[in-house]
Structure 1
Amino acid sequence: MEIAFYGDKFVDINEKVIPIQERGHQFGDGIYEVIRVYNGTPFLLNEHLERLENSAKAIMLQLPTTIEELKQIINEGLQKTEFTEVEIYIQITRGIAPRAHLFPTVSSELSMTFKNARIVDKDKREKGVTVTLMEDERWKNCYIKSLNLLPNVLAKQKAASEGHEEAILVRDGFITEGSSSNIFVVKEGTLYTTPASIQILHGITRAAVIKLANKMNIPFEEMKFDVSFLKQCDEAFITSTSVEVLPISKIDEVELSADRPIVDTLKVEFQNLYL
């Protein structure tokens, strides 16, 4: 059963509960997190909630609950839903007030959904997916997991309409990340990813993969790299909460080798973290 939480109680997921003068609805004035639950257990929960706190601080937003209270709501929601493989969406906005640009003197609003987790197609996970390069038109503070995702949505939709799984974004000639993922490449045995600056989301799965690479003594470097470097790589993959570690088979017109020793190893080791 899919359920939702809004304000201070659990509600039907299809119930219309967002007031018209809600700041998230009118301004995108809020933040969010997506947490994957495997076999009833939230994966990397503390890391996700720490990033939620950091996003709140970055936009000067007071959380409506403590982190411990959030954990209690999450646990209660997991008890109420019949699913064990769950995707939890948490959204916090600046609250309900007459529309004006200045911050209102009201409490922030919490909403949450508990839905059956999306599963990546086995064929895509094994064979990889195609991606396309696109200009990064987002704002500068992409490290904040804010509700302002229209450029991401447009990039993802354009990529999908052209038959691709993801849009890989390019800013000033350098690769930043995907529209809803981080990107890694392998070249001559070394693993590379874009540095964790304000220009990219500091992905939870990204951080987990970096820890695995270090644990396995895979040479690793955070480095800005351009389109040419990307297209000349030996292996490439994207990471996110929903896709985990997903190989890239083709970048626009450039086909990558189906032999992916490092990607395949990291994919298995990542799955071992929650199995």
Structure 2
Amino acid sequence: MIYFMNGQFTDQEGCTISIDDRGYYFGDGVYEVVKVYNGELYTAEEHFNRLVESAEKVKMVLPYSKEELIGIASELVKANQIETGHIYIQATRGVSPRTHQFPEIPVTPVVTAYAINNPRPLKNIEEGVRVKIVDDVRWLRCDIKSLNLLGNVLAKQEAFEAGCAEALFVRDGIVMEGSSSNVFGIKNGTVYTHPATNLILNGITRRVVMKLCEELAIPFVEKEFTPIEALSMDEFFLTSTTAEITPIVSIDGHPIGNGQPGTVTKQLQEAFARQIPVPVKAN
């Protein structure tokens, strides 16, 4: 397996992280996950734009341009012969003796990345998943795709222990998002989701769904809703880079609609599948 670390493509032995890396000490860094379909990066521009934006929000200057980062990701796909999978890339503030404030002597961010094969989760896409409501006790900058994910990890584990695939965050009586996804309810043919504020991550697949709704003339509303309103939805689904559009068939054990993936969700899934890059046929 070929990795990328600080300007070099290398094997696993060549990937050595310093104990003084601020990502290790503080989670002081940002990251992205980019899907690969049929050997091609999917929505790469959007993902790497967001990586740059996240870095700017934490006052980090990345050592590579967006175009260079896309080039690195593309090379990893090729080197590892990835057909369907994803790229993981992260940047930490760099290596410096442990102090909470930024290093007094400027250091270069540490950029690492890898590519792995990862099949589409077709069973979940077709059958749907169950989710569990969890109190959202995370910090107030969920719009930054940072390495500070302990709150998400604990919520996901709580859901997992309850036999659910995802945690549904609720803050001050409002449904926010999943621990690693955005969430959407459908009522009378209209898709509802939480507005893109600092309290959720504006997911790339979330944006794709917005565009698909526009193309399909499906009403789409960014509006807060409560857990009680969530339970009364006709359909519910979640989105992420790796989960795509996955139906939610129950929340806290309560079935959504008839407890099966709904027609609007299926319509969006079909539209999503149509715009996935297809294999290039040899002449």
**TM above 0.5, one fold?**
yes
The residue aligned with 2:110 is 109
Pairing 1:218–2:218 present: yes
Amino acid at match of 1:110: V
Aligned residue number for residue 145 of structure 1: 145
Match of 2:65 in 1: 66
Determine the structure 2 residue equivalent to 1:95.
94
Q: Secondary structure at the match of 2:95?
A: coil
Aligned to 2:266: 264
| Distance of 1:61 and 1:225 partners within structure 2 | 35
Residue by residue over 1:101-159, the C-alpha shift from the partner in whole angstroms, topping out at 9 and shown as x without a partner, is: 12111111100011112431x33221210001010011000000000000000100110
Give the match's secondary structure for 1:24. Answer: helix
Residue 190 of structure 2 corresponds to: 190
Tell me the CA shift for residue 69 of structure 1.
1.4
Task: Give the corresponding residue for 1:18.
Answer: 17
* Conservation of the 8 A alpha-carbon contact between 1:36 and 1:117: no
Structure 2: distance between partners of 1:165 and 1:186: 20
Following the alignment from structure 2 to structure 1, what is the Cα–Cα distance between the partners of residues 230 and 157? Answer: 22
2:115 match: secondary structure? strand
Partner of 1:127: 127
Secondary structure of the corresponding residue to residue 69 of structure 1: helix
Output one character per residue of 1:181-226: Cα deviation in whole Å (capped at 9) or x when no partner: 0000101111100000000000000000011001111111100000
Q: CA RMSD in A?
A: 1.2
More deviation in 253-262 or 39-48?
A: 253-262
Residue 85 of structure 1 aligns to which amino acid in structure 2? T
Match for residue 159 of structure 1?
159
SS in 1 for 2:34: strand
Q: Which letter maps to 1:112?
A: A
Q: Cα–Cα, structure 1 residues 14 and 153, in superposed 2: closer, same or farther, change >3 Å?
A: farther
- Cα deviation, 1:81-104, whole Å, max 9, x if unaligned, reads 122112100100100111111211
Q: Is the 8 A contact 1:136 1:169 kept in 2?
A: yes
3-state DSSP class of the match of 2:141? coil
Q: Mapping of 1:34-45 within 5 angstroms?
A: 34-45=33-44
Percent identical residues: 42
SS at match of 1:230: helix
Gaps of 5+ in 2: 279-283
Answer whether contact 2:205 2:244 (CA < 8 A) is retained: yes
Report the equivalent of 2:209: 209
2:85 corresponds to 1:86: yes
**Aligned partners of 1:136 and 1:212: how far apart in 2?**
29
Distance 2:175 2:226 in 1: 6
Moved over 6 A (4+): none
Q: What SS does the aligned partner of 1:21 have?
A: coil
Q: Tell me if the contact between 1:32 and 1:90 (Cα under 8 Å) persists in the aligned partners.
A: yes
For residues 266 and 5 of structure 1, the distance between their equivalents in structure 2, rounded to whole angstroms, comes to 35
2:228 is the alignment partner of 1:228:
yes
Supply the AA of the counterpart residue of 1:168.
L
- In 2, the alpha carbon distance for the partners of 1:114 and 1:157 equals 25
SS in structure 1 of the partner of residue 217 of structure 2 = coil
- 1:42–1:136 distance in 2 versus 1, CA, 3 Å: same
Q: After superposing the two structures, state which structure 1 stretch, 216-225 or 13-22, moved more.
A: 13-22
